[in-house]
Structure 1
Amino acid sequence: MTGQDPRSWLDRLVGACVFVFVGAVALWCSVQVLQSVLPFIVLTVGVIALLWAGWAIFRYFRDRF
């Protein structure tokens, strides 16, 4: 034997419950952070897309003639 007692099924159950709880809390925290940051990200990507589209239209009309 290795000298370590095998864990009981109750210890394994408690460990699994704690693991699931910590995972749920981590998921909840990540969703909260994403909800607070997502509008800024969408706005930034939208502004960049509009600037790029304006630049592409300007280049199209300038190089056309």
Structure 2
Amino acid sequence: MSGHEQPGLIDRLVGVCLRVLGAVLALYVAVYLVQTILWPLMLFIGGGVLIWMGVVVIKTWRERY
């Protein structure tokens, strides 16, 4: 075998199946990480931003009147 031969149909199908399996596993891990880590972090950061915006709005209103 010289190494320049084209892979057979079965070899290509197995390769495609392994790529699909790898993609599914990567998506599963990404969704799991978003659920466990990013949501609480995003809520914490979002709450901080809302509090900061509230303080800015209140200071702006007090300075105008």
TM-score normalized with structure 2 length: 0.77
Q: What does residue 33 of structure 1 align with?
A: 33
Q: Identity across aligned pairs (percent)?
A: 31
Q: What does residue 45 of structure 1 align with?
A: 45
Aligned-pair distance for 1:5?
1.1
TM-score normalized with structure 1 length: 0.77
Structure 2 distance, partners of 1:61, 1:3, is 76
The gaps in structure 2 that reach 5 residues or longer are none
- With over 3 angstroms needed to count, the CA separation of the structure-2 counterparts of 1:41 and 1:3, relative to structure 1, is closer
The gaps in structure 1 that reach 5 residues or longer are none
Runs of 4+ in 1 over 6 A off after TM superposition: none
Q: Secondary structure at the match of 1:28?
A: helix
Q: What does residue 19 of structure 1 align with?
A: 19
Amino acid at match of 1:51: I
Structure 2 distance, partners of 1:21, 1:40, is 29
